[in-house]
Amino acid sequence: MPRKSIAPHPLAPPPGPFRRKLLAWYDRAARDLPWRRTRDPYQVLVSEVMLQQTQVTRVREYYPRFLARFPNVESLAVAPARAVREAWDGLGYYARARNLHALAKIVVERGVAGRGAAGSSVAEKGVAKFPENPEELIKLPGVGRYTAGAVASFAYEKPVPAVDTNVARVIRRVFFVERLIPQRGTRERPTRQRLTPKRPIPLQVVWSLATTLVPRDGKRAWKFNQAIMELGALVCTARKPKCGECPVRSGCKTGRRFKGDGGRGKRDG
């Protein structure tokens, strides 16, 4: 079903230039991550749950091992809780593993039919499958608004936003002015600096902007969501943003205020 027409957010510039620059940069700079090579909703979900509060380097180690042990949602659903805990051991935040296990049982019990965008899901044999829309995905255990959007976009190529911490940071900096403030140390020689908004930007505003920016074509929406996350992870970082390397700096309200020195606080002018 085509996405309903969305009125442009009043704070958003024309999305075309922002998208083009971001997507062109992603083609050059994107990391080759295993979960980006699949449209299987189970595999996408496993990666998203693992990536919650865990570094990418660690997830790259655990992700293939977990899938080797539990290759589909059915195998995870019937696994003993102890086996799931053992496979998760070392990743921490074990409530994630419990929720993922409970989710698998619910999906299998419901036996929802369907498949991922590439048609490679286990549901091809009429077996259990995940819902496709964020409104249904968010009802599953441990699935929040971001994870629901991520699975819908990355598995089913739905033209929906997926706003995690990285995406929210990028949007707040691009469309709202942030200022650099010293953290700890003396006034003359701060030991650490970070960008912070002049005033809190409500998350609902961020989601509204993200909805406006996401392309309506599903494949481009997949790429856009991956790209804006990648920008936040590699360039528009929390403490030391590399504004001089940013592909969208010319349209960024925060980035334009700093010289091309990696965004470490030297104002233009």
**Active site amino acids:** 48
Query: Do residues 208 and 9 touch, judged by C-beta distance below 8 A?
Result: yes
**C-beta separation of 173 from 165 below 8 A:** no
Residue 8 CA to its chain's centroid (Å): 22
What does residue 180 show for φ and ψ, rounded to 5 degrees?
-90, 125
Per the CB < 8 A criterion, the answer to whether 161 and 204 are in contact is no
One-letter amino acid at 117 equals: A
Beta bridge partners, 196, equal 179
The widest CA-to-CA distance across the chain, in whole angstroms, is 67
Nearest to residue 3, comparing CAs of 218, 219, 213, 210?
A: 218
CB 261 within 8 A of CB 240: no
Own/partner pairs, 107-113, CB within 8 angstroms, 24+ separation: 107/73, 107/77, 107/140, 108/73, 108/74, 108/77, 108/78
CB 101 within 8 A of CB 76: yes
Run of H or E including 181: strand 178-183
CA angle 43, 166, 24 (to 5 degrees): 85
